[in-house]
Amino acid sequence: MLKEFFESNKYLICAGLSTLSLVFTSISIISVSKSVKDISTDLEPISAWADSQNECIIKTFRIDGKNTQGMPSKVWSCNGGGQ
């Protein structure tokens, strides 16, 4: 009896399962997109800090516009080191 039920309604059962699968997938996608938005909002201050660091490093020169001491010295200077 159960086998006959499944045989006569297999397309309807598969359609129902597919619909449920699509609903759960949509919910998952919405949840992930909210998480990504939250993460990107949380990382915004770090991004602004990195931009200011890059700008400082680009504008920092040592002698006659030549970087005589290398990148570590520029980073050190831009982070408050030195005089």
Q: How far is CA 35 from the centre of its chain?
A: 9
**Contact between residue 59 and residue 66 where contact means Cβ atoms under 8 Å apart:** no
- Residue 71's pLDDT band (boundaries 50, 70, 90)? confident
pLDDT at residue 75 in the model: 83
Dist CA 55 CA 47 (whole Å): 12
State both tokens at 21.
């699968």
- Cα–Cα nearest to 48, from 59, 38, 40: 40
Least reliable range by pLDDT among 16-20, 29-33, 64-68, 73-77:
64-68
Report pTM: 0.50
Q: Are 36 and 30 in contact (CB under 8 A)?
A: no
